[in-house]
């Protein structure tokens, strides 16, 4: 299965490289013929797209530069289609973790930070996530976020239990939520924790990364000019075994029954009111406020694991310039607006889903902009207790192979964790070798 997926990826990449080699402002699209219009893509649902519409309208009003805005749900599929027609978008806003893949496929123009007005208001930590394998920047930071623990405060206080600080605290609270009728309806119909544990699109690796970090685990580690797999360590064995035995196996109702087939889109138990905890991203705050009410839940730092830290997965979005020429000044002007205090605040506020969570502009404070102290928990987690997936490699196959392995181990409670992690480590070595990154 891995070999077939790798072959398909290689064919896709070669097709994209062929398609983008000739991309330029001379393509046949109507947009390319308008020197004052930028085509901009974001991976957005209708709710967040309305926020982008407001941001781009403000930009056009201020600069006179027009935006042909395209919110795209099936972003990568559509991007491949456009690359094959030699007509990439001018500007794209998408996940930081995709930069390595996009760079490897030749989809992006390199960026000089100094060419973007306001670049010095972005921290070195954020800029570091845009550096490709060749040492050049291929993105401009736009939004950042870090996982935090959402807890039903009303349930916790009703049961007289403290805020969880460690894994053991979290497990005890989850068991209490599952067994002590926290909603008071006299039925056994609540779960301790929500988990998007499907292998689809790497979800269980995305959710599980924070637990791995807290256990002292890294999926791959930097090794000189390359990387090496790191999932056969003693820390990985201890951490994955703990997760399997305490969260996924046993009849204690700690997680929802559908966890191992759940993705974030159908993992709604927390907002539906039948689960007590969710380690997830801050984009859910507005959803949970509407579904539950602010007074019903709290946003807390993640618990500390056996490695003595409470590190969580950090990710976010970058601004990318499509690998084409002719509109560099317009692209740089848009990027400067998007990272400015004005552009960032517009994207953080309003009646619709915010598209900037933690601002990359260091002059802004998320909690002050939103007048909501819960965002200070998220910002502090990003600034002091977060780890990102490595951005230079193409991390997509690494995340997917990790998710496949973890999902299989968690599905079969009699599985051999040590053997499964050894097999995963060998698979990750193959992924790195395919990218000429194995050391």
CA 176 – CA 185 distance, rounded (Å): 15
C-alpha distances (whole Å) from 150 to each of 130, 303, 331 are 29, 11, 38
Specify the residue for token string 């830290």: 309
Q: Distance from CA of residue 55 to its chain's centroid?
A: 22
Instruction: Judge if 196 and 257 occupy the same domain.
Output: yes
pLDDT value of position 391: 86
Is the pLDDT score of 257 beyond 80?
yes
**Can you give the CATH number for the domain in which 67 is found?**
3.40.190.10
pLDDT value of position 250: 73
pLDDT value of position 34: 86
- Closest C-alpha to 147, from 35, 281, 297, 253: 281
Is the pLDDT score of 313 beyond 60?
yes
Has residue 192 been placed in a domain?
yes
Name the pLDDT band for 2 (thresholds 50, 70, 90): low
**pTM of the full structure:** 0.89
**The two structure tokens encoding residue 143:** 């939004």
Instruction: Judge if 83 and 157 occupy the same domain.
Output: no
Q: Which domain holds residue 169?
A: 148-313+391-435
Instruction: Judge if 74 and 173 occupy the same domain.
Output: no
Work out how many domains the chain is built from and give that number: 2
Instruction: Judge if 320 and 410 occupy the same domain.
Output: no
Instruction: Judge if 226 and 367 occupy the same domain.
Output: no
CA 415 – CA 211 distance, rounded (Å): 20
- Window from 75-84, 289-298, 308-317 with minimum mean pLDDT: 75-84
CA 58 – CA 422 distance, rounded (Å): 53
Instruction: Judge if 284 and 420 occupy the same domain.
Output: yes
Tens of pLDDT, residue by residue over 13-60, are 433 433 333 333 333 344 556 899 999 999 999 999 999 999 999 999
Mean pLDDT value across residues 379-397 = 93
Has residue 26 been placed in a domain?
no
Name, in order, each residue with C-beta under 8 angstroms of 181's C-beta and a sequence gap of 6 or more.
187, 188, 190
* 251 φ, ψ (degrees, to nearest 5): -105, 65
CA 196 – CA 268 distance, rounded (Å): 10
Mean pLDDT value across residues 55-72 = 97
């Amino acid at each position: 299965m891995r070999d077939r997926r790798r072959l398909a990826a290689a064919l896709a990449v070669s097709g994209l490289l062929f398609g983008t080699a000739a991309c330029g402002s001379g393509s046949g699209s109507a947009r390319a013929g308008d020197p004052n219009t930028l085509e901009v893509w974001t991976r957005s649902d209708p709710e967040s797209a309305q926020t982008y519409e407001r941001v781009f309208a403000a930009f056009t009003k201020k600069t006179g530069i027009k935006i042909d805005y395209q919110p795209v749900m099936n972003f990568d599929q559509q991007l491949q289609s456009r690359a094959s027609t030699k007509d990439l978008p001018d500007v794209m806003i998408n996940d930081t973790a995709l930069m390595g893949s996009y760079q490897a496929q030749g989809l992006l123009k390199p960026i000089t930070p100094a060419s973007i007005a306001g670049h010095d208001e972005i921290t070195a930590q954020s800029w570091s996530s845009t550096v490709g394998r060749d040492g050049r920047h291929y993105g401009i930071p736009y939004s950042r976020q870090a996982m935090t623990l959402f807890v039903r405060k009303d349930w916790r206080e009703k049961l007289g239990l403290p805020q969880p600080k460690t894994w053991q605290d979290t497990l005890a609270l989850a068991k209490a939520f599952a067994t002590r009728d926290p909603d008071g309806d006299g039925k056994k119909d609540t779960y301790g924790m929500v988990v998007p544990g499907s292998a689809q699109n790497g979800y269980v690796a995305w959710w599980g990364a924070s637990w791995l970090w807290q256990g002292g685990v890294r999926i791959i580690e930097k090794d000189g000019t390359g990387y090496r797999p790191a999932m056969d360590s003693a820390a990985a064995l201890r951490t994955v075994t703990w997760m399997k035995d305490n969260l996924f196996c046993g009849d204690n109702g700690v997680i929802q029954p559908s966890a191992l087939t759940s993705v974030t889109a159908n993992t709604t138990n927390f907002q539906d009111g039948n689960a007590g905890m969710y380690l997830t991203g801050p984009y859910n705050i507005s959803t949970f406020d509407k579904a539950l009410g602010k007074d019903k839940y709290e946003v807390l730092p993640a618990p500390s694991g056996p490695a003595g830290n409470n590190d969580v997965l950090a990710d976010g979005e970058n601004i990318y310039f499509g690998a084409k020429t002719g509109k560099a000044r317009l692209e740089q002007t848009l990027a400067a607006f998007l990272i400015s205090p004005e552009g960032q605040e517009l994207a953080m506020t309003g009646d619709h889903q915010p598209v900037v969570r933690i601002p990359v502009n260091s002059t802004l404070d998320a909690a002050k902009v939103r007048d909501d102290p819960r965002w200070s928990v998220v910002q502090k987690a990003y600034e002091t207790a977060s780890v990102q997936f490595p951005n230079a490699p193409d991390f997509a196959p690494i995340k997917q192979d990790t998710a496949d392995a973890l999902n299989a181990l968690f599905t079969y409670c009699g599985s051999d964790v040590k053997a499964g992690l050894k097999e995963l480590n060998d698979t990750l070595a193959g992924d790195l070798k395919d990218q000429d990154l194995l050391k």
